Structure 1
Amino acid sequence: MIKKRTKSIYIDGKWEDLDPSKLVTVYNPATLEPLTEVANGGGVETEKAIEAAAQAFPLWSSMPGRKRSTFLYKASQLMLEDAERLGEILTIEQGKPLKEAIGEVKGAAQFLLWYAEEAARSYGEWLPSSISGKRMLVIPKPVGVVGAITPWNFPSSMITRKLGPALAAGCTVVLKPSPETPLSAIEIIKIFEKAGMPAGVVNLVTGDAEAIGKEMLTNKKVSLITFTGSTAVGKYLMRESANQLKKVSLELGGHAPLIVFDDANLEKAATLALASKFRNNGQTCICANRLYVHESIAKEFTTLLKEKVDQLIVGNGLDDDTDLGPLISQAACEKVQKHLDDALGKGAHILSGGKQLDKNLNGYFCPPTVITNVTDDMIVMNEETFGPLFPIQTFTDEEAVIQKANDTDYGLAAYIFTENTSRTLRVSEKLDYGIVGVNDVFPAVPEAPFGGIKQSGNSKEGGHHGMEEFIEKKFVSIGIER
């Protein structure tokens, strides 16, 4: 499994040899052991990859959608057949429990399957004309070369959520994965290679994020940059892309509220609140970050939640009994601790967790922690923690809790638990979020649009909506003789 060096730059259908002077080490966050060395690519490699994608674009974009779909079908099938091995690689480089990792790989394959089906369904329009001597068409056309930048928290599914619709639409791609998790990206590119993807259609460059991103932003042959990551980086990409009016598709951070109303099924609410917050150890952009519980059921609910959190097992993701793996880095652990210290300093109480973990754990481990007596001035109630810290605040008034939930610059996901149909519709309509889960904390599926509003993003991934990001609409006006 562990190799001294792994080729990680794939351009025009070929794996580039590694330059010994430009290598970086990939580490296992659960053990801090080195896994392998990969290429620390930069602007030069990115320019070559963009040129290869540009050269491949005419043939790929003119190919019938049904034919493009065959490559995506094959890649999806290969991912499913190899899900256990790919899941183990994901766990070793990212840390999440193996069962979660395998689930992610299978989900990633489903995105390729969905867009294999969508590839033949890029429809145009025939517009009724108000002028007798004119006929009007709207023709869908792929935008061109796409620069795809993906994060470390879902290193497989974030790739296929971008590459699937881009390739289905007829675009060619240069992929830059996170420096923390290049190995999953390498394996996915190998799958496309095995599926027979034509040279230059998909390219991979690992390495210097700033240098690679700069080349994508300044190279005129890149028509669109699709990015998942922090809001700060998303803003930078948007500012710099303005120099060429380059399209930018952004899926950014969140600060999700989870509201438990007094008529909720409390067992379901506690189980799913825990599943949302502690999935991937809190390192998901849509995980619940603020928990609001109606005062009348707060004692019963927090008791249920505490019982469940107390049973969580933290450890190496490869161990069968592990529920929570490590965080991705020491900086991530320090951020969680900063949020916890701030809350405790302002009067919060620890309901569960908050204690030092087993000394035998050598990686970036952090205990799952729930706090009560939380106030609005605490950092945890205003910033995305991206870790296993869950603050609980009580409420009594529906309108007031909606206002609190909306009082943020972010608008990715929000969750409510209620058995009242009228409340379901009323509150869902009032929450300023791109995604609302009602008695459901796992809203992301290939067939539905995923994305936020406000400072959580400007685009959608998933469903037919996701493919629209990679398509331009060309208007053709034809004058005819009568």
Structure 2
Amino acid sequence: MELQDIYTNQGQLIGGHWVQGCGETAQNQDPATEESLGNLKQASVAQVQEAVAAADNARNAMRALTAWDRSTLLRHAATLIHQRAPAIGRLVALETGKPISQAIGEAKVASESVDWFADEARRIFGLSYESRVKGDRYLIHYEPLGVVAAFVPWNFPLVLLARKLAPALAAGNTVVIRPSSEAAGATMALVQCFVDAGFPPGAINLVIGNPADITPTIMDDARVAKVSFTGSVSIGRQIVAASARTLKKVSMELGGHAPVIVHSDADVEAFVAMAASGKFRNAGQVCASPTRFYVHESIIEDIGQRLTDATRALRIGTPLDSGTDIGPLTTNRRRDAIECLIDEARDGGAKVLCGGARPSQIKKGFYYEPTWLLRPSETLRIMNEEPFGPVGTLTPFSSLDEVVEQANRLPFALAAYVFTQSLRLAHLTNERVEAGVIGVNTFVASNAETPFGGNKDSGFGREGGPTAIRDYLNTKFINLSLPAERA
């Protein structure tokens, strides 16, 4: 099915029914060809209000389900996502420019997240313990929050939604989803898996349109108990401020500018192989993307040359080609921003080891060559602002104290990476680097079963892992005082 058919046949999911938006019409653009993928009618403010009302009305139906019921439904949804991964992945590739192998892989990872929370639904354990009065009991019980809103960006439209939707449903909540319009069709296809799994009508609602219409409407509605947001620091601040008006719970997964510390004893060959692919996955449009590479001065020249060779071997191509390593950036705005950062760095004295331009062999699409910059000044914007694109920087260091100071210099603290063959040096580095996630000798930052999130300006709250479901539950204390038995 073509994307225009999906946009027309589905659109907005409100109260269990797919309906067309009542707002303006927006055109989605293929980032690889710059041609139209189709037109999508945007949700109106009234439809957003209807979605919240539908979610509120479905609360009783969700509360009527047992934990085992919710687990069964989630398991069914996970199975459907996995079965449909090639088709859903194709939509991601078309809408975002992500290489098809990575897009299908994302769909499968989303399935794993849903499957994980299918288990967690059955593990919402309360507590029972003795009170101060003999024979009485203290009980701690966990209950769903009610209506939860999930705001999801375009760079990982499937995984990031699964990390929010699955724990919310596992806990017994209903959900209103506001995805990015750039990945509208892929989001619809993922949500359809939950509909087909049999969740009650209204338990899941999807509104796609102008964030300026959708976000304030949701934030001002007191029926929405929690908002889970993934996106930029600036928008995150606005949502946190808006949440105060109705005292909503919020989870924030915001930007990053991940440092990579490569010690002198690192396995250079293994590091280069991982770095070339890890840095340029999804064209660097990853919040946990390794970006600021701090390499020990004794090996930086060798690593710089090896990274250049490995990066030049990566294939830039169309997203639907299985041999493509790097596709286009998702939007022209993103490419323009990358160009400005790299041009400024070049003018500021950084050496461009490779890349630094649009690929001359590709005439259309939002492509940009994978780029390495050597010895950029700390004052450059690229060393202080999250680039969110296919560019990495290489900076030498001489001591642990020096590199830790450099790594912690920014207000971001989402992900960091450390490469060393010394367990002692790994521990010394890990305990001093400020980050919510640290990969040692790996660029894998998250899995379904592990917590993901940041500190400082990178946000708060964790998605995935054994504690994530608690963010979707209220705690209730019951002091159970029993009447004395009569003789």
TM range (shorter): over 0.9
Instruction: State the Cα distance separating 1:325 from its structure 2 match.
Output: 0.6
Q: Name the structure 2 match of 1:8.
A: 11
1:473 partner letter: T
Contact kept in structure 1, 2:413 and 2:434, CA below 8 Å: yes
Contact kept in structure 2, 1:315 and 1:323, CA below 8 Å: yes
Instruction: State the Cα distance separating 1:321 from its structure 2 match.
Output: 2.3
Contact kept in structure 2, 1:435 and 1:451, CA below 8 Å: yes
Which runs of 5 or more residues in structure 2 are unaligned? none
Contact kept in structure 2, 1:315 and 1:361, CA below 8 Å: no
Task: Indicate yes or no: 2:160 matched with 1:158.
Answer: yes
- Write the deviation string for residues 338-374 of structure 1: whole angstroms up to 9, x where unpaired: 1112211211111111134135331111111101122
Contact kept in structure 2, 1:369 and 1:390, CA below 8 Å: yes
Contact kept in structure 2, 1:11 and 1:52, CA below 8 Å: yes
Tell me, what secondary structure is at the counterpart of 1:364?
coil
Q: 2:241 aligns with which of 226, 235, 239?
A: 239
Instruction: State the Cα distance separating 1:61 from its structure 2 match.
Output: 2.2
Instruction: State the Cα distance separating 1:23 from its structure 2 match.
Output: 1.8
Instruction: State the Cα distance separating 1:130 from its structure 2 match.
Output: 2.9
Instruction: State the Cα distance separating 1:317 from its structure 2 match.
Output: 0.7
Give the stretch that moved more between structures: 344-353 or 283-292.
344-353
Q: Name the structure 2 match of 1:315.
A: 317
Q: Name the structure 2 match of 1:30.
A: 32
TM-score by length of 1: 0.97
> In 2, distance between residues paired with 1:290 and 1:131?
59
> In 1, distance between residues paired with 2:368 and 2:71?
43
Distance 1:24 1:356, change over 3 A: closer
> In 2, distance between residues paired with 1:17 and 1:204?
11
Task: Indicate yes or no: 2:459 matched with 1:457.
Answer: yes
Contact kept in structure 2, 1:293 and 1:394, CA below 8 Å: yes
Task: Indicate yes or no: 2:390 matched with 1:388.
Answer: yes
1:99-248 alignment runs, 5 A limit: 99-132=101-134, 134-248=136-250
Distance 1:114 1:454, change over 3 A: same
Q: Name the structure 1 match of 2:372.
A: 370
- Write the deviation string for residues 19-62 of structure 1: whole angstroms up to 9, x where unpaired: 4x632111111111111222211321111011111111122023
Q: 1:416 aligns with which of 415, 418, 421?
A: 418
- Write the deviation string for residues 386-438 of structure 1: whole angstroms up to 9, x where unpaired: 00111100001011101110111110000000000101111111111000000
Contact kept in structure 2, 1:40 and 1:206, CA below 8 Å: yes
Matched pairs, number: 481
1:211 partner letter: D
Q: Name the structure 2 match of 1:350.
A: 352
> In 2, distance between residues paired with 1:111 and 1:42?
31
Which runs of 5 or more residues in structure 1 are unaligned? none
Tell me, what secondary structure is at the counterpart of 2:315?
coil
Tell me, what secondary structure is at the counterpart of 2:4?
coil
> In 2, distance between residues paired with 1:122 and 1:38?
40
Contact kept in structure 2, 1:30 and 1:317, CA below 8 Å: yes
Q: Name the structure 1 match of 2:96.
A: 94
Instruction: State the Cα distance separating 1:276 from its structure 2 match.
Output: 2.3
Tell me, what secondary structure is at the counterpart of 1:69?
helix
> In 1, distance between residues paired with 2:77 and 2:423?
41
2:273 partner letter: T
Q: Quote the sequence identity (%).
A: 36
- Write the deviation string for residues 54-78 of structure 1: whole angstroms up to 9, x where unpaired: 1111220231111111111111111
2:305 partner letter: T
Distance 1:220 1:239, change over 3 A: same
1:126 partner letter: S
Give the stretch that moved more between structures: 434-443 or 39-48.
39-48
Q: Name the structure 2 match of 1:17.
A: 20
Q: Name the structure 1 match of 2:337.
A: 335
Tell me, what secondary structure is at the counterpart of 2:379?
coil
Instruction: State the Cα distance separating 1:378 from its structure 2 match.
Output: 1.3
Tell me, what secondary structure is at the counterpart of 2:353?
strand
Contact kept in structure 1, 2:219 and 2:243, CA below 8 Å: yes
Tell me, what secondary structure is at the counterpart of 1:281?
helix
Q: 2:87 aligns with which of 80, 85, 100?
A: 85
TM-score by length of 2: 0.96
Contact kept in structure 2, 1:409 and 1:455, CA below 8 Å: yes
Q: 1:476 aligns with which of 467, 475, 478?
A: 478
Tell me the C-alpha RMSD between the 2 structures: 1.3
Instruction: State the Cα distance separating 1:248 from its structure 2 match.
Output: 0.8
Contact kept in structure 2, 1:56 and 1:201, CA below 8 Å: yes
> In 2, distance between residues paired with 1:128 and 1:62?
30
> In 1, distance between residues paired with 2:318 and 2:377?
34
